[in-house]
Copies of this chain bind each other. A is one copy, B any other.
Amino acid sequence: MRPISKEEYDLKCSTRQLFELLSEKWVPGLIYVLSLGPQRPGKITGRLQGISKKMLTQTLRNLENWGVVKRTVYDVVPPHVEYSLTPLGEKMIEPIALVHGWAQENREDIAKVFGQRLTSKKPERLTDQE
């Protein structure tokens, strides 16, 4: 009935690991943007509202080391660099797309929760049990 198996949510649980990977602030966004096709850094910055140059480079460097992203340099001037997904990266689109699809269908609910989250960072029970 419930859709999730009873597997322990332990440190070696792949679900937990995946969430840990995807919880790095710019990772899902970057994979998402690159899923639209190979991109130059400038373009990526334009599409990822709010990312700084440092975080862009850093996250790309990480994804590169993980084998998720490929960096291609064209030896011209001014420098021309392009980032694209590796086959492994292409695979990672799927879970992101799944979440994306769900998020689109449940905008209102997310907005509701997200609003609550913003207004009460410090946890506080709103209505006290009597």
Contact = CB atoms under 8 A, between A and B. Distances in A.
Interface residues of A, number: 71
Interface in A76-130: 88, 91, 93-104, 106-107, 109-114, 116-117, 120, 123-126, 129
Nearest to A72: B129
A15 to B, nearest CB: 4
B109 A73 contact: no
Contacts of A64: 125-126
Nearest to A110: B14
B97 A3 contact: yes
Interface of A: 2-6, 8-11, 14-23, 25, 28-29, 32-33, 35-37, 47-50, 58, 61-62, 64-68, 71, 73, 88, 91, 93-104, 106-107, 109-114, 116-117, 120, 123-126, 129
